[in-house]
Structure 1
Amino acid sequence: MDIDLIGAGPRGLVAAERLIEWQRQTNQYDHLNLTFIDPYGIGGRVWPVGQPHELLMNTNPDYITLFTDDSVQMEGPIVTGPNLYEWAHKQAPAFLFSHQLPNRADLLTEAAALVHNGYASRSLFGAYQLWFYDYLQQRLPESVSLILRKEQVLSIRHIETTNRYLLKTAVDRFQTNAVIMALGHYEDALTDEQQSLLNFADENDLHYTTPTQPQEYDFTNLKAGENIILRGLGLSFFDAVTMLTQGRGGHFNQGQEGELTYQPSGIEPHIIAGSRRGFPLRAKGRNEKGYGELDRPHFLTPDWFSHYQTTGSLIGSRFIEQFHHEAEYVYYQRLLALKYPQVDADEFLREFVAAKEPSAIVFRSPIVESDYLNWNQLLNPAEFVTNSDDPKTMANYLQTDVEEALLGTKTGPLTSALEMFRDLRDVVRKVVDNQLLRPEDYRNTFLGQFNNENSYLSVGPPETRIAELRALIQAGIVTLLGPSMMAEADSQTHQFATWSKAKPEDRYEASWLIEARLPAVSASHTLNPLIQNLIKEGLGRPERVTMEDGSTFEPGGVDVDMSRNELIDSNGQHRTGLYFWGVPTEGRHWFTTASPRPGVNDNLLRTADATVADLFHTFTGVQ
């Protein structure tokens, strides 16, 4: 039995582990030949060990694993192992000493100093994945082989006579019985604006970077003091800023009261950045939760879901309202403990859950209005913070964000409330996977409003990055524009120009413009040759959702069977033996970028086991 795994990042590694353990338990095949195929090797494109060591993950190391555990509800065998934090302090030293890895000295130092609620470098997670691949090699029973090919699969063709698949790379062709594809973000065809900006850059000897992986930004020719425009204030923005400051030898000093100041190296550029909102992502809260600890839902409960069993029966605004109530429940629970000990919190929360309008319970409580959880203020800070382009104003806003985050996920009211976006991910997936929303609401309310809220409020950087940004603004290294950032090619100056609609008179010019974001997930517009081939040959198709008026729209992802992750072909049929999961299915699935988390019945671990279970049950007679 031959199985190829395309993509050697966390998903591919977990799938390989499941295949090995299923074969160890069942001994179903005389020989099981597993082949990883990834041009970047183990860790894939996102997690190379040799990337800039200053780049951090935005998840605590205790929350990162590649192993199953007793919480995972699955058919296959449970085989436990160390999470990233545990590995760093137990297995990492011997592994790092015995392998000639880039940044080895930095990795050894980091592993020894890693703390429970800190943040590991992406390099260290990459090293963990390399160790995991070695671990898999040591776990192989005699009937299993596992190899790695550093190539890119360009096409897959079904061979009718043998019912096998022919894979083609730039250097080879080979056959297999089944394929598990775990691809990541990939560049898309350029929009008209992007193509125009790229042409302008070529004509004027400028530097323009379209959406791509931030660790691959090339700043080699960017001079000290030169202007560079970053469009976007998300995670890619923070990565770029880090590489352009700490990556160029600058460092931060902490004062007696905890505030950071920046000590420049003298070779930093001047960074001008902005976005539509004009404010960076909210900081991740300081983690106070233990293994497997989640705040449980009080509104989006099984009984609530039982009312919406019919596809398309849930109104989008109702879903968001209930989700907001979940965050509000946690917010007021923490707030009462912190500031209102005279209030009977248990009684307040019981009434809050039972009320037709929970806000009425808040209004008639002793809680002062300035302490209310204000969603409009959270999501539209520009309406409440005037002159955000002023360094002092933005510094004060960022300081408040840091202070809120440091209160912690079990103590801080706001931090705990925003943590619900993560604690309830599986609940949200249930809404998407069961297609409970009306198509119009799924497109407009969920993919629009809810995804925007989730991205802005819950997937931000560690609070240290927000504190660092504050220091960089105060040092004049970073200039943040006001809301509604604009950027264009200026044919008169032969430079890129940027400004905020709120203050068009403050205009900046630069020869560098970076689209500081990842490519969108779009099966119809991706430049990934394998996905293009699958769609062209009819082995796969973009997901399309039919609206009530008969029109269709594409959420972006490749269409797959929801339970088994088999590809759906152009005729709407399952393609037996072709499994596809991860980022390119975003839209069909939801929030596909997360790495496995221990102790919480993790969705990625469940999905990997379910996929392998289907494969073993389907290919029972193949030897």
Structure 2
Amino acid sequence: MTTLVIVGAGPRGTGLLERIAANAAELLPADRPLEIHLVDPHPPGGGRIWRHDQSPLLRMNSMAEDVTMFTDEFATIAGPVRPGPSLAEWARRQRECAPYQEVADPAVRAELRDLAPTDFPTRRAQSAYLDWVFRRAVADLPDHVTVTVHRDTVRRIDGPADGPQTVHLGDTALTADHVALTLGHLDSAPHPRHAADAAFAARHGRFHLPPAYSADVEAELARIAPGEQVVLRGLGLAAVDLVAMLTEGRGGRFEPTGDGPALRYRPSGREPVLHLGSRRGVPYHSKTDYRLQGPPAPLPRYFDAAAVDALLATDGPLELLCDIWPLMAKEIGFGHYHELFHAHPERTALPWPEFLARYDRHGWYSPELAALVTEAVPDPANRIDFERLDHPLAGVELGSAEELQAHLREYVTADADRRADPAHSADLGAFLALLSLFGQLPRLVAGGRLTARSVAEEVDEWFFGYFNFLASGPPGFRLRQLLALSEAGVVRFLGAGVRIERDETSGTWRASGTTVPGHSVTATALVEAYLPKHALARTLDPLLGELHRAGRVVEEVVSDPEHTHRTGLVTIDPADSRLIDPALGGAPHPRRTALGPHTSLRSAAAFARPRTNAPAFRQNDAAARALLRALAALPAAALVG
């Protein structure tokens, strides 16, 4: 009997289990039984982030048809492809999807019954889907593989590199031949930059909330008083969730105005006044709620494996913006123009084959390509402009706070209208091309060729921030709600370049932005309205913390003679996701694997859009095959079972 312990039973652990089920028949002999123990204090499938026990106001930022946990014919994996339904498909035919079990919550049952493919489901609905995916993965395991779930927390792992591992839970221990850490999204102690605001709040009896996951802070938010002036620093998904919980979550309601999709907000009287600002000063672009109008672009075309091979074969260090972004931008532009020419040819002035042949020949920043786009796409509104998208308030200076509110409402209305209108489906073409970049970007980062400064400033800070701003925004109806809250005076925009200062005399924060010079607001509560970034040195996960203190995991550090970048990520072997162990001279630990957002592979979400060859699925498959081979190769005398 061989034994595997998977620590973390959320989507990543479930995805690994699904790949074990797919690969076990090939790689694990029938005479080598495998006992799998999954350990997580939260329910398997959803785990902590996607557990059912969270506010029904919290939504996914993906349409139901764009969420899957299964590989398909587009997956470039060594293991078997095991297709399965998307969230939308599963909701429509649950009774046909074994093993069937009725969803317990009647509200979720009703939602799933009426769920359209282009709806943005609640996170509770996703929790139900993940619960089923987990149960299907278990059911798909061959007879010689069994699963036991422990609703517990792993505190420590010890054991020799060439022998059994002891996994210490709260009041018991498991002995394993291999351990996989699929810990998901983790908390860290607040960054030192938040310490001053936390101490300020404590001195003056004020409210301060560091970055946190929205589902975990509902009780904390209750401390904010009705009518209290609150600054929210951030305008992404976390801010949208927090605004919903502090408005609709306090009894307010939205209702149609009768004028198209516009909404009116009816306050309950228990809402605070929310002042929203960020570096860009505008909300993340909403997700589109339509499909491509033309045929899918054949992605990737420019930023593919061959292009990355060529970059890695060059001499000298590389930088993202100088050496790599031109290829990435050209790929995104290709997705945009492929959709524009095929779905909206009346807006173009050249045949697609001619445009593409000339587009192929020129670099992204070349005058020739700029001239081609000008010739082929007469209206600038139909061209893609990355700089304008990145800095929408650049150069905007307004004379008053009221002018700013009107300007932002106009901007948000235009964005919400555009993202709901399939006439602008070239935006979706660009989005899909942007997603395709993740097929090769991890190779470049892991290849060690990027300068440390480029990894720090251009990859981890700029690119991932830009990606989230363009491609990971809220559903469109959230922007309509934000507009209604602004009209009602519950939400006030601060503009770009937000700056927050502490006033010891009054015990308040003063917030200002660059869009209205000289204007500021005072607040008695400050909320860091963005998601926490895990840092190994400050981790609150007991297992990772213990491994770090014991010197058995190492933070990824990218350094060169000019710069050192501590990423906060746990270093793993990119080939098979084994943990790099300093006690083994920096070699991969033969019996410990780690997958997920806390690792140096910078993996995307544990679930993905169908037919996109998702990197997370490829990583799960490679890790599952490696650990199954390792378990099968262990001498029978060395097994723990």
TM over 0.5: yes
Shift of 1:233: 0.8
Shift of 1:96: 12
For residues 441-456 of structure 1, the aligned pairs below 5 Å read: 441-456=454-469
Residues 292 and 600 of structure 1 are in contact (CA less than 8 Å); yes or no, is this contact kept in structure 2? no
**Aligned: 1:321 with 2:326:** yes
- Counterpart of 2:34 in structure 1 is 32
> Would the alpha carbon gap of residues 491 and 411 (structure 1) be closer, same or farther in structure 2, given more than 3 Å must change?
closer
Residues 292 and 599 of structure 1 are in contact (CA less than 8 Å); yes or no, is this contact kept in structure 2? no
- Separation in 1, partners of 2:606, 2:9: 15
- Separation in 2, partners of 1:195, 1:584: 23
Shift of 1:572: 1.0
> Would the alpha carbon gap of residues 371 and 159 (structure 1) be closer, same or farther in structure 2, given more than 3 Å must change?
closer
**Aligned: 1:515 with 2:528:** yes
For residues 9-48 of structure 1, the aligned pairs below 5 Å read: 9-25=10-26, 26-28=28-30, 30-42=32-44, 43-48=46-51
For residues 602-617 of structure 1, the aligned pairs below 5 Å read: 602-617=614-629
**Which is further off, 353-362 or 460-469?**
353-362
**Aligned: 1:243 with 2:245:** yes
**Aligned: 1:499 with 2:512:** yes
- Counterpart of 2:181 in structure 1 is 181
- Separation in 2, partners of 1:548, 1:11: 36
Shift of 1:137: 4.0
2:66 to 47, 60, 63: 63
* Partner SS, residue 579 of structure 1: strand
For residues 407-418 of structure 1, the aligned pairs below 5 Å read: 407-408=421-422, 411-418=424-431
- Counterpart of 2:411 in structure 1 is 397
Residues 331 and 416 of structure 1 are in contact (CA less than 8 Å); yes or no, is this contact kept in structure 2? yes
Residues 90 and 129 of structure 2 are in contact (CA less than 8 Å); yes or no, is this contact kept in structure 1? yes
- Separation in 2, partners of 1:212, 1:331: 35
**Aligned: 1:421 with 2:434:** yes
- Separation in 2, partners of 1:138, 1:197: 50
Residues 419 and 458 of structure 1 are in contact (CA less than 8 Å); yes or no, is this contact kept in structure 2? no
For residues 179-218 of structure 1, the aligned pairs below 5 Å read: 179-217=179-217, 218=220
Residues 207 and 526 of structure 2 are in contact (CA less than 8 Å); yes or no, is this contact kept in structure 1? yes
- Separation in 1, partners of 2:30, 2:553: 29
For residues 481-560 of structure 1, the aligned pairs below 5 Å read: 481-503=494-516, 505-549=518-562, 552-560=564-572
Q: Provide the alpha-carbon RMSD of the alignment.
A: 2.8
Residues 17 and 138 of structure 2 are in contact (CA less than 8 Å); yes or no, is this contact kept in structure 1? no
- Counterpart of 1:467 in structure 2 is 480
Shift of 1:24: 4.4
- Separation in 2, partners of 1:341, 1:291: 14
> Would the alpha carbon gap of residues 123 and 94 (structure 1) be closer, same or farther in structure 2, given more than 3 Å must change?
same
Residues 231 and 523 of structure 2 are in contact (CA less than 8 Å); yes or no, is this contact kept in structure 1? yes
The letter of the residue matching 1:228 is V
User: Cα deviations across residues 137-193 of structure 1 (Å, max 9, x unaligned)?
Assistant: 434444222122222212211246x71111223322222111111122323233334
- Counterpart of 1:568 in structure 2 is 580
- Separation in 1, partners of 2:381, 2:139: 59
**Aligned: 1:53 with 2:53:** no
The letter of the residue matching 2:330 is H
Residues 210 and 514 of structure 1 are in contact (CA less than 8 Å); yes or no, is this contact kept in structure 2? yes
Number of aligned pairs?
616
1:373 to 376, 381, 384: 384
- Separation in 2, partners of 1:339, 1:391: 36
- Separation in 2, partners of 1:484, 1:464: 26
> Would the alpha carbon gap of residues 420 and 59 (structure 1) be closer, same or farther in structure 2, given more than 3 Å must change?
same
For residues 50-129 of structure 1, the aligned pairs below 5 Å read: 50-91=53-94, 101=104, 104-129=105-130
* Partner SS, residue 460 of structure 2: helix
Structure 1's unaligned 5+ residue stretches are none
Shift of 1:131: 2.0
- Separation in 2, partners of 1:292, 1:147: 45
The letter of the residue matching 2:370 is S
- Separation in 2, partners of 1:468, 1:398: 11
- Separation in 2, partners of 1:32, 1:464: 47
- Counterpart of 1:170 in structure 2 is 170
TM-score by length of 1: 0.91
- Separation in 1, partners of 2:95, 2:500: 45
- Separation in 2, partners of 1:92, 1:152: 33
User: Cα deviations across residues 361-384 of structure 1 (Å, max 9, x unaligned)?
Assistant: 124456144554332211111125
- Separation in 1, partners of 2:71, 2:348: 41
- Separation in 1, partners of 2:192, 2:142: 53
* Partner SS, residue 350 of structure 1: helix
The letter of the residue matching 1:557 is L
- Separation in 1, partners of 2:31, 2:424: 52
The letter of the residue matching 2:69 is L
The letter of the residue matching 2:82 is V
User: Cα deviations across residues 581-617 of structure 1 (Å, max 9, x unaligned)?
Assistant: 11111xx323433523333322222211211111121
* Partner SS, residue 354 of structure 2: helix
> Would the alpha carbon gap of residues 98 and 445 (structure 1) be closer, same or farther in structure 2, given more than 3 Å must change?
closer
Structure 2's unaligned 5+ residue stretches are none
**Aligned: 1:477 with 2:490:** yes
Residues 348 and 377 of structure 2 are in contact (CA less than 8 Å); yes or no, is this contact kept in structure 1? no
**Aligned: 1:362 with 2:376:** no
* Partner SS, residue 592 of structure 2: strand
> Would the alpha carbon gap of residues 591 and 351 (structure 1) be closer, same or farther in structure 2, given more than 3 Å must change?
same
User: Cα deviations across residues 98-144 of structure 1 (Å, max 9, x unaligned)?
Assistant: 6674xx12211210121112211111111112222333443444422
For residues 248-327 of structure 1, the aligned pairs below 5 Å read: 248-254=250-256, 255-289=258-292, 295-310=298-313, 314-316=318-320, 317-327=322-332
Shift of 1:498: 2.3
**Aligned: 1:346 with 2:353:** yes
- Separation in 2, partners of 1:344, 1:291: 15
User: Cα deviations across residues 466-524 of structure 1 (Å, max 9, x unaligned)?
Assistant: 22211211121111101121223322122333222444644333332211112223223
Shift of 1:213: 0.8
Residues 178 and 631 of structure 2 are in contact (CA less than 8 Å); yes or no, is this contact kept in structure 1? no
User: Cα deviations across residues 177-214 of structure 1 (Å, max 9, x unaligned)?
Assistant: 11111122323233334222222222322221111111
> Would the alpha carbon gap of residues 603 and 329 (structure 1) be closer, same or farther in structure 2, given more than 3 Å must change?
closer
- Separation in 1, partners of 2:612, 2:431: 18
**Which is further off, 170-179 or 411-420?**
411-420
Determine what percentage of the aligned residue pairs are the same residue.
25
User: Cα deviations across residues 227-246 of structure 1 (Å, max 9, x unaligned)?
Assistant: 22211111100110111222
**Which is further off, 572-581 or 603-612?**
603-612
TM-score by length of 2: 0.89
**Which is further off, 440-449 or 266-275?**
440-449
> Would the alpha carbon gap of residues 119 and 29 (structure 1) be closer, same or farther in structure 2, given more than 3 Å must change?
farther
- Separation in 2, partners of 1:20, 1:344: 48
> Would the alpha carbon gap of residues 146 and 439 (structure 1) be closer, same or farther in structure 2, given more than 3 Å must change?
same
- Separation in 2, partners of 1:7, 1:335: 43
